[in-house]
Amino acid sequence: MLKLGGIFRKFCAFGRGILVLAFLLFVASGMRLLPMPAKERLTSAFLSTVFYPVQYLVASVDDFRNVLGENEKLKEENARLRLELDYARDGLSELVRLRALVRFDNHWDYPIVTSRIIGRNPGRLVTTLIVNRGLADGLKTDMPVFSMSGLVGRVAKVASHHAQVQVLVDPNLKFSVLNVRTRTVGFAESFDGKRLAATVPAHAGIREGDTLVTSGLGGIFPKGIGVGVVKEMVPHDMDVLSTMVIQPFQEVSQLEEVFIMQKEPDWIVRELLE
């Protein structure tokens, strides 16, 4: 029984081959009888039918490659546009700050140089800044440096095209401040490079929140530049004195540009600055 089944399967397979061969011979004989235009149409249709899947696959691969290439170009274009947008936003922010400077009431009547911060001293504490203006721009040592918020420091060193700015919390800088409400004068300095403080008479009646400005003493800073506010009052070792901790108006770490007043010192009390 099994042998008969095997013979039948072989016959069917052989028979299909014969049928296919007979069909091809019939088609070939029929095509010989057809006129030439009909032969060409039939051949074109046959080839299109047989090779269409391959052609479609090749075309799909090419399209995919084209899409990948366009996608990479779009990514590059998007990155470039993002950079340009960020640059435009930063330029707009700088323009707003410079417009504020134009409206700044310079009642001290000294020329002002706008400069960009290009460096800071390395380390955890920021006590000096580097700006992109120098001797070529008319800068000299001891010229006051400020921002729209308040006093920043003074020019400490000057080169041809850049300068070093000593900020308020530099332990080597001492300057005189005036309490606007009580008219009390004190000398501000920092002992740790972080906290700014000044010693004043205990009976002066200074309170937290009082505004402090430059007093004009010392000859470097003109009178009236905003310095900060009294953050807290701390008892001094001597009962007749108190220490006022100062919160500066300008946070140095947030600075991008500063303004330098082209004012040379009137006179300097060296023992208070060294």
Q: Tens digits of per-residue pLDDT, 1-41?
A: 545 455 545 545 555 556 655 655 655 565 555 566 655 56
Report pLDDT for 2.
45
Q: What size, in residues, is the chain?
A: 274
Q: Tens digits of per-residue pLDDT, 104-136?
A: 555 667 888 989 999 988 777 788 999 999 999
Report pLDDT for 237.
86
Q: Any residues with CB less than 8 A from the CB of 251 and at least 6 apart, and which?
A: none
CA distance 193 to 182: 27
Report pLDDT for 94.
62
Report pLDDT for 11.
46
Report pLDDT for 219.
83
Structure tokens of 223?
Answer: 């009178």
Please tell me whether the overall predicted TM-score, pTM, comes out greater than 0.85 for this model.
no
Return the H-helix or E-strand segment holding 261. strand 257-261
CA distance 19 to 9: 15
Structure tokens of 11?
Answer: 């016959």
CA distance 85 to 92: 10
Structure tokens of 115?
Answer: 């400069």
- Which residues of the chain register pLDDT less than 70? 1-64, 76, 79-80, 82-108, 267-274
- C-alpha distances (whole Å) from 210 to each of 152, 189, 195 are 19, 18, 17
Domain architecture of the chain: domains with CATH: 112-273 (2.40.10.340)
